[in-house]
Structure 1
Amino acid sequence: MVSVKTLHGSAQLLLDATSGVTDITEKMHRTIARDANPLYRLLDVAGLSTEERRRHTTYRVIQSTTYVLKQGLHYSLSRFSRSEGHPYTSKSMRVVAALNGVCGDHLEASNNPLAINMNFRNSLGEKVQPGSGNLSATVPGASPRIVVLVHGLCLSHEYWKGHNEGNLGTELQSAHGFTPLYLNYNTGRHISSNGKELSEQLQKLVEAWPVEVEELTLIGHSMGGLVIRSACWYGSERNLPWTKLLRNALYLGSPHHGSPVAKAGHMLTFLMRQFRYVSPLALGRHTSAGIKDLRHGNLLDDDWDGIDQDDFHPDGRKPVPLREGTRHYFIAAAIGKRVSNIPSTMMGDLLVRLDSAKGHHADDSRRLPIRLEDCRVFEKLNHLDLLDNKVVHDQILEWLA
């Protein structure tokens, strides 16, 4: 059965898409008409022709109708969406997570109920709310050792449950006495926005924890690793106490210096924008802020503020060093049978290249100083294999022993 929240959010997103397609169609129509009719420019200067006025009116009617429908939808369903307790099944949660990765910043800006609000989950998938009075009930037998697992782009806390091998969080609980928590967040937002919010949430968590926290460990997959580094930066800038409890940070296939997929997508969008006929179809402009941040691996507001991320511009990131006092571990994957061969070097795990996952960079100020024993590269694995592969889990268990 479809929940009211899902129905509300899906309908609102569909109407937003209708508005966007109408805008693209109108732009293409005007561009083609301008070239097909030599008199169009004169008519455009002197005022629209009767035919053009009629077409212009048609587009405005569609946009106005869409707007009215959205407002009516929001007014009629929003109260039911807010009161609904747990609207998502495991499968629908994965679909919503993917939507948040692609257009999560738009969902948040448009107050769409499909936008994910950052929250912690326990091993059963229940929300853990530091500000509530039932924290002890949602984390029974809370340990002084906390591990927080942070998923990557278009994923959710559900993906840590494991497709094949097992649950990394519960393995750490059984082997080393950690209490595992799983972060769920909107991956379409800027990485820095999620980093700042995670920093604040971690502070609330350690303050409200049922027992005194002795040790905090953060594990991030893909974008999750960048969110962790951003949170460490903002937490250290504000001198928040949780940062002094952070003993370990682990990065699984994190694109510390960007992803080639994001770079290729940006290049395609940039080239399409140079041609009038295809410029309206450069849909890469409408992808989320989180995806655009992955072009270079932006961690801070300064890395994107005041910059048109759809334009071609060099890597102007502010160098963010690894937090001192914390042990940092890096895991990378390569699809090839040997790490040293060309497919492994060039393609990495298909989404992140090896040099980016290991923090290597030609610029010394951006290169991440990693001890040899704190970095592992696994062969014949892809990007998502890092979440639930036994050899990866065994390495993490060994490091955190």
Structure 2
Amino acid sequence: MSTSSVVTAPWRLLWRLGLRSSPLALAAPLVRTRPDPDLAPVALRAAGADVAAEPAALESAFPHATDRIVVLVPDTDEDESAWLRHLDQVGGTYASRLAALLDWTPVNVRVSPGEGTAVEVATTLQALVDGWPVPVRRIALIGHGRGGLVLRAACALRHQTPDAWHELVSDVVLLGTPHLAVPAGRTMVPLSRRVDEELAGIVTDDVVDVSAQPLPHARYALITPHTRLQQSRLGGLLGDVLWWRHRLPMRPRKARSLFPSATLHHVPTHEIGLVNHPDVHQAMLAWLA
């Protein structure tokens, strides 16, 4: 993957954040869509419909099931359609190429934010393995945005059964998932700080359990855009910059890694995001071969 430096003009940063018109939209990347209360907090998905984690339903939904499952979890305010971004530019999705070239069976999992979601994910994945049409040999997890945080929490829930799903996980790939945690501060913080933290991949310890441990046997790859290497220019435009890299002599701000064993890969995003990024496509094929 390329690791060359990218100088981002303020207007391009605004574009990436979806702030193309009104200054009132400056908080757009920080606002999450309220989930539909009628939707289950966690659901297996296939062909645009929910799939019960039961043997008959799984066999019907995945008639060509293989012994390798790649579980794709989008951000917590999105569904599996998020994985179709830039399809016309790159000619394939992560799921389609892993299926066609490496014989993985893609399984989409929709998650909604809220308490108990990680438990629901862990329970659903266990039922998926138990009811899969063929014995499962290997599982890979791909999470986007805060969907990766849900996977992190689910992986920390250990099962004591011989065929526990987490024992089969060989790789965890995280796309733009916040990977640093800082102590929760005041409830009301300046917008510039919130923007800085969002761009830097930071969450507060009241959002995540910082003590949760990664799977010791799995390989973790964390993909971040180059903007996380740079000071926030948007925060500078708003004033009162509180970028996490700045260290005051007497008050250093410490950020704790949520994925200490992960290998970090920084990619230039430009007009294309981390979903179906060409560099990530190539790297993922190598990791999951």
TM-score, normalised by the number of residues in structure 1: 0.50
Aligned to 1:386: 274
Aligned to 1:92: none
Say if 1:318 and 1:264 are closer, same or farther in 2 by CA, change over 3 A: closer
1:181 to 66, 88, 107: 107
Do the aligned residues in 1 keep the contact of 2:155 with 2:215 (CA within 8 Å)? Answer: yes
Aligned-residue RMSD, C-alpha: 3.5
**Distance of 1:232 and 1:379 partners within structure 2:** 29
Aligned to 2:204: 296
1:370 to 258, 261, 269: 261
**Distance of 1:233 and 1:397 partners within structure 2:** 26
Cα distance, 1:295 vs. partner? 4.1
**Distance of 2:135 and 2:260 partners within structure 1:** 32
Q: What letter is aligned with 1:102? A: T
TM-score, normalised by the number of residues in structure 2: 0.68
Q: What letter is aligned with 2:120? A: E
Say if 1:264 and 1:157 are closer, same or farther in 2 by CA, change over 3 A: farther
Do the aligned residues in 2 keep the contact of 1:168 with 1:388 (CA within 8 Å)? Answer: yes
Show the 5 A alignment for 1:316-327.
317-327=209-219
Aligned to 1:68: none
**Distance of 1:331 and 1:297 partners within structure 2:** 21
Say if 1:354 and 1:218 are closer, same or farther in 2 by CA, change over 3 A: farther
Higher strand share: 2
Aligned to 2:34: 103
Do the aligned residues in 2 keep the contact of 1:152 with 1:220 (CA within 8 Å)? Answer: yes
1:334 to 213, 216, 226: 226
Higher helix share: 1
Q: Structure 2: which 5+ residue stretches go unaligned?
A: 1-30, 192-201, 237-242, 246-252
Q: Moved runs in structure 1, 4+ residues, more than 4 A? A: 262-266
Do the aligned residues in 1 keep the contact of 2:180 with 2:255 (CA within 8 Å)? Answer: no
Say if 1:322 and 1:215 are closer, same or farther in 2 by CA, change over 3 A: same
**Distance of 1:153 and 1:297 partners within structure 2:** 18
1:195 to 102, 114, 118: 118
Q: Give the fraction of aligned pairs with identical amino acids, expressed as a percent.
A: 24
Q: What letter is aligned with 2:84? A: K
Q: Structure 1: which 5+ residue stretches go unaligned?
A: 1-99, 270-293, 304-316, 348-352, 356-360
**Distance of 1:354 and 1:175 partners within structure 2:** 41
In our comparison, the structure showing a higher alpha carbon Rg is: 1
Aligned to 1:307: none
1:119 to 43, 47, 51: 43
| Count of paired positions | 230
Say if 1:204 and 1:377 are closer, same or farther in 2 by CA, change over 3 A: same
**3-state SS, counterpart of residue 121 of structure 1:** strand
The structure with higher relative contact order (CA 8 Å, sep 6+) is 2
**Distance of 1:343 and 1:392 partners within structure 2:** 24
